[in-house]
Amino acid sequence: MRAFGLLLCTLPLIAACSPGGESSIIVRDRTAPIANSAFLVEDGRFAAVGSAGAVDAPAGAARVDLSGKTVMPAIVDGHVHLGYADVAAMTDTPANYSRDNIVEHLERLAYHGVAAALSMGLDREEASGLREETIPGAALFRMAGAGIAMPDAGPGAADRRDVPYGVTTEAEARAAVQELAAAGVDIVKVWVDDRNGTVEKLTPPLYRAAIDEAHAQGLRVAAHIYYLEDATELLRAGVDGFAHGVRDLPVDRELLGLLAERPDVFLMPNLPDSGYLTERDLDFRAETLPESAVERMREQLAARTGPIPGRSYRLQSNNLLRMQATGIPIVLGTDGDGAGWDAHEEMADMVAAGMTPAEVIVAATSAAAAVVGLDGSGSVAEGYSADFIVLDANPLENIYNTRRIDSVYLRGSEVDRAALPARWAE
Ligand SMILES: [Zn+2]
């Protein structure tokens, strides 16, 4: 990309193809991509989007040549858990949890083209206040706060089961929701899972009370689920979305019938890996990892034997497609730890499951922005926040092209992708 001027926040940016150059393409939403396109960014928003001849640049506008590039909206991840992972050291523990570490994760997300992420519970005190901040060069932080489960249950990792509200009565469930509402959460998260018989599952009376109270407070509820029977009962209780797919059985007519009546319920399929990590995945991760970490991942990869872990993936893929066919919104949610590459790996898994690249890009942008509660984000459209990724190749042709990132712009400003990995390597 040749930049003809510096982009300053107060200065409009015109991004257009150069005369005689290759056409640039804008991929957005469900509408057809715009070929030979141009757009104008002013005050962090798209002021005009259209074909190259139809967008005028005001005097003094900085121009960025996007010849031959593809522009897609920045990604929104509807399911993350930030603050726990030391990405470079490859550890994942509450000992790592700090405000600085969450900010680093938000920067790692930005590097990978993620504009905003919804933390699905497990947020500790150190995270408070981050939701209200806009940190330059970092993704926006949205959150479910602590979340709700039975006492000493909830997340898979036992070392963070102290974080959720542990409730045993309907009154406690309602009180927890009221506290979450007062803390300004974007959504209420409930865990309905016995972790293979090792913890107590949140009971229907308890999650019914939580859902009822959340709705009274104007909040939606997202459920961590595993079993089909819980998904069905949660739908009857009025749950607003699923932070995982159904993982024990093929979905049945009953569930699909309930979904058909509730076309607003969202599904974050959060698929298991479609196969082992590949060299291609490792190369992408290596962009933001120290050499020592890449070496360790390479060794782990080489040590793997046996068939690829496909059975659970196939079950969940089939369930995803059947639930998608009811018309509900499918939304990207990685359950990621802040490393940032997860969104791209999940998008590839969703295409491997049978979704089209266009459907997956909608799931990862406008549909996710709607669930996270970001109005005016998730599309390259007039008036929207200028959050976009400039790609060297078109992801509609191959979803792996979302990884061929030339540059990332959040709120109209370019993320300094050259400087970030150097900082993380220190
Ligand atoms: Zn999760």
User: Over the stretch 320-353, which tens digit does the pLDDT of each residue have?
Assistant: 999 999 999 999 999 999 999 999 999 999 999 9
Q: 74 C-alpha to center of ligand 1: Å?
A: 21
Q: Which pLDDT does position 250 carry in this prediction?
A: 98
Please give the distance, rounded to the nearest whole angstrom, from the Cα atom of residue 271 to the centre of ligand 1. Answer: 12
Which of 69, 64, 71 is CA-nearest to residue 22?
Answer: 69
| % of the chain exceeding 90 in pLDDT | 77
In the chain the first and final C-alpha atoms are separated, in Å, by 28
- For residue 10, name the pLDDT band (cuts at 50, 70, 90): very low
Cα of 337 from ligand 1 centre, angstroms: 9
40 C-alpha to ligand 1 centroid (Å): 37
145 C-alpha vs ligand 1 centroid, how far in Å?
12
Ligand 1: centre distance to CA 23 (Å): 40
CA of 49 to the centre of ligand 1 (A): 36
CATH architecture group of domain 75-372: Alpha-Beta Barrel (3.20)
- Of 113, 100, 120, the residue nearest 423 (C-alpha): 100
Contact assessment for residue 247 and residue 226, using Cβ atoms and an 8 Å cutoff: yes
Q: Are 95 and 157 in contact (CB under 8 A)?
A: no
Q: What does the pLDDT read at residue 37?
A: 83
Residue span(s) of the chain under CATH 3.20.20.140 come to: 75-372
For the domain spanning 13-73+382-425, the CATH number is: 2.30.40.10
- Does 310 have pLDDT greater than 80? no
60 phi/psi in degrees, rounded to 5: 85, 0
Asked if 77 contacts 397 with a C-beta cutoff of 8 angstroms, the reply is no
Report CA(47)–ligand 1 centroid distance (Å).
Answer: 36
* Residue extent(s) of CATH 2.30.40.10 domains in the chain: 13-73+382-425
Distance from residue 335's CA to the centre of ligand 1 (Å): 5
Judged against a pLDDT cut of 80, whether residue 29 lies above it is answered with no
Q: How many A from CA of 83 to the centre of ligand 1?
A: 13
Residues in the chain: 426
Alpha carbon of 136 to ligand 1 centroid (Å): 26
Measured in Å, residue 157 CA sits from the centre of ligand 1 at: 10
Q: How far is the CA of 346 from the centre of ligand 1 (A)?
A: 14
Of 68-82, 181-195, 275-289, 366-380, where does mean pLDDT reach its minimum? 275-289
107-150 pLDDT tens trace: 999 999 999 999 999 999 999 999 999 999 999 999 999 999 99
Residue 334 CA to ligand 1 center (angstroms) comes to 8
Task: Please tell me the distance from the alpha carbon of residue 350 to that of residue 344, in angstroms, as a whole number.
Answer: 10
pLDDT over 60 (residue 14): no
- Over the chain, what is the mean pLDDT? 90
Highest mean pLDDT among 1-5, 256-260, 269-273: 256-260
Q: How far is the CA of 32 from the centre of ligand 1 (A)?
A: 33
Centre of ligand 1 from the C-alpha of residue 82, in Å: 10
- Over the stretch 264-305, which tens digit does the pLDDT of each residue have? 999 999 998 877 788 889 999 999 999 999 998 888 888 876
Find the 119 Cα to ligand 1 centroid distance in Å.
Answer: 8
What's the 156 CA to ligand 1 centre distance in angstroms? 9
Indicate whether 8 pLDDT > 70. Answer: no
Please give the distance, rounded to the nearest whole angstrom, from the Cα atom of residue 120 to the centre of ligand 1.
6
SS3 letters across the chain: CCECCCCCCCCCEEEECCCCCCCCEECCCCCCCEECEEEEEECCEEEEEEEHHHCCCCCCCEEEECCCCEEEECEEEEEECCCCEECCCCEECHHHCCHHHHHHHHHHHHHCCEEEEEECCCCCHHHCCHHHCCCCCCCEEEECCCCEECCCCCCCCHHHCCCCEECCCHHHHHHHHHHHHHCCCCCEEEEECCCCCCCCCCCHHHHHHHHHHHHHCCCCEEEEECCHHHHHHHHHCCCCEECCCCCCCCCCHHHHHHHHHCCCCEECCCCCCCCCCCHHHHHHHHCCCCHHHHHHHHHHHHHCCCCCCCHHHHHHHHHHHHHHCCCCCECCCCCECCCCCHHHHHHHHHHHHCCCHHHHHHHHCHHHHHHHCCCCCCCCCCCCECCEEEECCCCCCCHHHHHCEEEEEECCEECCCCHHHHHHHC
- Alpha carbon of 240 to ligand 1 centroid (Å): 16
Distances (CA, A) of 412 to 55, 100, 365, 368: 17, 24, 17, 20
The Å distance, Cα 122 to ligand 1 centre, comes to 9
Tokens of 290: 């120290």
Residue whose structure tokens are 């040549």: 65
User: Does residue 291 contact residue 299 with C-beta atoms inside 8 Å?
Assistant: no
Render the burial of 350-372: b for 16+ CB within 10 Å, e for the rest. bbebebebbbbbbbbbbbbbbbb
Phi and psi at residue 41, in whole multiples of 5°? -115, 130
For 143, the token pair is: 């959150």
In angstroms, what is the span from residue 18 Cα to ligand 1's centroid? 44
Q: For position 24, what pLDDT does the model report? A: 63
Cα 191 to ligand 1 centroid, rounded to whole Å? 9
Q: Are the C-beta atoms of 377 and 40 separated by less than 8 Å?
A: no
Distance 84 CA to ligand 1 centre (A): 12
For residue 76, report the distance from its CA to the centre of ligand 1, in Å: 15
Q: How far is the CA of 38 from the centre of ligand 1 (A)?
A: 38
Round to whole Å and give the CA distance between 165 and 84: 19
154 C-alpha to ligand 1 centroid (Å): 10
Neighbouring CB atoms inside 10 A of 82's CB total 26
Q: How far is the CA of 155 from the centre of ligand 1 (A)?
A: 7
The residues with which 117 forms a beta bridge, in sequence order, are 77, 141
Instruction: Give the per-residue pLDDT at 12.
Output: 44
Please give the model's pTM, rounded to 2 decimal places. Answer: 0.93
